[in-house]
Chain A
Amino acid sequence: MNRRIVSMALTIILALIPCLSALAADNSTVTITMLTDKYVEITLEPAEWDIGDVESNTPYVTNATWCTITNEGNCVVDIYIKGEDAVWVDNPSAYTWKLSSTENNGKGVYALWYHIAYDSADSYTLITTIDTHMKKANGEVLQLIGNGAQKEFGLKLLTPLADTETGHFWGGREMKTTITISAVAA
């Protein structure tokens, strides 16, 4: 090897040695954690479904994006849903429809379902009187992550079977029911 090239190579190697020790470094980390106040609030829009006249043993369905749930709080929330019996507005204790717990309607028994928008087509989940996590068809729990997060859903209602003998489907009576949707900090 040419003596000049050897000298240059040696110079480069010698120059690198002090650099290597200067570049070598070790890191240590301090982790800081802090807790901020949680605030839970959701809104529903719209909050009313006025079906109009209904017939016995007939399903009524909203659009899949009919209702929007909005997280107005500042934390991740799980969404729960429950229904209740429908009552005659004029005399609630005199005439009611029981909310089905089996997906089937009956005499004096109506059924309610929800469908989360953009979930599998026709994947309706039964609403019962028991407060239950809203879930997608694949079982994934519905969560709203942070302020402003939104989800849409629709409803389906199946009226009771007709039974004129026992008066389980009286005509001309305004029936009313309420669905409660609640948010719990995850």
Chain B
Amino acid sequence: MAGKMSPRIASIALVIILVLISSLPALAEESDGETITITMTTKTVLEIELNPTSWEIGQVGPNTEYKTNPEKTWCTMTNRGNCMVNTYIKGDDAVWTESPSVYKWTLSDDGYNGTQIYVLWCLKEDGSSPLIKKYEDGIGDEFYSGLGMGEGNQKQFGLKLLTPPPDYTKGGIGYFSGGGEMESHIIVSGVAV
């Protein structure tokens, strides 16, 4: 084998020589041609818009159900981003705005109200009414999936709320220990698919 070049090494050497030969005239002209390769990735924009963003129920009594008006199309959710999203929903405890740390209603996780426990449902266009639950961590329960762009970028829904039973009764009238304004929030999250 000594002194005899392998045909494979010979081929590589030939290619290098040919490349060099073709470069030589260019070098001789003192000019060069280089290329720049540009690559980019479009940025994903996520934006979920809700309209309206507040539900002012007004005066509420104990153990009573309240629905948005219209029931199932009260709120319009629009995908304002540039990608398809799955949406998730979660609720929160309702707090007494006078002093949130003193009095609150816990959000039910089983669909039943109780002493200082209230219930929230989502009223969907398909007639279903899933429970809205509270999640300390995470983004909540799956809501509408595959919310696209352009046509098909909107979904509508409504809400239903059941107040707790009274905390005490005076003169035959039931009262909550927190008299005044109660406030709660629902969070809808959109995640790029």
Docked complex Cα distance between A146 and B75 (Å): 34
- CB of A28 within 8 A of CB of B60, answer no
List the one stretch of B3-11, B20-28, B47-55 in contact with chain A.
Answer: B47-55
Out of B77, B168, B192, name the residue touching A22 (CB < 8 Å).
B192
Interface-facing stretch out of A71-79, A89-97, A127-135, A158-166:
A71-79
Given contacts A21-B44, A76-B180, A146-B102, contact A28 B192 (CB under 8 A): no
The tally of CB-CB contacts under 8 A between chains A and B is 149
From 67 to 123 in chain B, residues with beta carbon under 8 angstroms from any chain A beta carbon are 75, 77, 81, 83, 85, 94, 96-99, 102-103, 120
Over the window 22-66 of chain A, the binary record of Cβ atoms lying under 8 Å from chain B Cβ atoms (1 yes, 0 no) is 111111111111111111010000000000000000000000000
In the bound complex, how far is the Cα of B70 from the Cα of A74, in angstroms? Answer: 32
Which stretch (B29-37, B148-156, B183-191) binds chain A?
Answer: B183-191
Q: How far is the CB of A73 from chain B (nearest CB, A)?
A: 7
For B186, list chain A residues within 8 Å (CB).
Answer: 29-30, 32
Q: Which of A28, A31, A41, A76 contacts B55 (CB 8 A)?
A: A31
Which chain A residue lies CB-closest to B47?
A: A26
Query: In the complex the two chains form, what is the Cα distance from A24 to B190 in whole Å?
Result: 8
Tell yes or no: B159 within 8 A of A by CB. Answer: yes
Are B189 and A27 in contact, CB atoms less than 8 angstroms apart?
Answer: yes
Q: Is the interface of A mostly helix, strand, loop or mixed?
A: mixed
Given A37-B179, A39-B175, A76-B98, A24 and B46 contact (CB-CB distance below 8 Å)? yes
Size of the chain A interface, CB-CB below 8 angstroms? 29
Q: Does A101 contact B (CB under 8 A)?
A: no
- Chain B residues 135 to 193 lying within 8 A of chain A, measured CB to CB, are 139, 159, 161, 163, 167-168, 170, 173, 175-193
Contact of A29 among B102, B159, B178, B185 (CB under 8 A): B185
**Beta-carbon contacts of A137-162 to B below 8 Å, as 1s and 0s?**
00000000111000000000000000
9 A–B contacts, CB within 8 A, in A order:
A26-B46, A32-B184, A33-B56, A33-B57, A34-B161, A35-B58, A36-B181, A37-B59, A76-B99
Q: Which residues of B contact A (CB under 8 A)?
A: 44, 46-50, 52-61, 66, 75, 77, 81, 83, 85, 94, 96-99, 102-103, 120, 139, 159, 161, 163, 167-168, 170, 173, 175-193
